[in-house]
Amino acid sequence: MTEQTPRWLSEEQTQAWIALASMMVWLPSALDDQLERDAGMTYVEYTVLSWLSMQPGRTSRMSDVASLANVSASHLTRIAIRLESRGWLTRRPDPNDGRATLATLTEAGWEKVVQTAPGHVEEVQQLVFDGLSAAQVRQLRVIGETVAKAARPGLCLPSPGPTD
């Protein structure tokens, strides 16, 4: 095996990496704090509910939800149990594939998303978008998609669809 010289980061790349790493650490924590305080749920719980709210029939395979939320199947099962106990989602076997489980947002879950979304969106506006120009927002989207797809090849990011 030949030893390869490390591709060290340039000074500009180092500063960008530090900024990105800081954002990855502190943004989820700030969003978690807001959601816990205002809605009594965690950021990952809200991610699960909001992902389901964007799916046709407000239903998705648990494996797809786990992938989007970046949690293991067993972790998602624990989250789903908590959300079921609150009446916000239900699970059932996939009629087209008995090995898969479908999660469906209940009407109460939909109401919780609708109720929670304004405060969450305001927090996102303040923390992320208020300090960016329109051009920076477009760049952020491209950068985010590019990095996410490099980190997770085959990742299918949700697209906000029509709401009821």
User: CA 149, CA 145: separation in Å to the nearest integer?
Assistant: 6
CA–CA gap between residue 9 and residue 87 (Å, rounded):
49
Contacts by residues 86-95 (CB-CB < 8 Å, ≥ 24 positions apart)? 86/112, 88/49, 88/112, 89/48, 89/49, 89/52, 91/62, 94/61
Q: By three-state DSSP, how is residue 47 classified?
A: helix
pLDDT tens string, the chain, 164 residues long: the values are 678 899 999 999 999 999 999 999 999 999 999 999 999 999 999 999 999 999 999 999 999 999 888 899 999 999 999 999 999 999 999 999 989 999 999 999 999 999 999 999 999 999 999 999 999 999 999 999 999 889 888 877 766 654 44
Structure-token pair, residue 107: 């009407």
Q: Are 120 and 32 in contact (CB under 8 A)?
A: no
pLDDT at position 164: 44
φ and ψ at residue 101, rounded to 5 degrees: -120, 135
Q: Which CATH class is domain 40-151?
A: mainly alpha
- For the chain, the structural domain boundaries read 40-151
CB-based contacts of 83, cutoff 8 Å, min separation 6: 45, 48, 49, 89, 109
Q: What is the pLDDT of residue 156?
A: 73
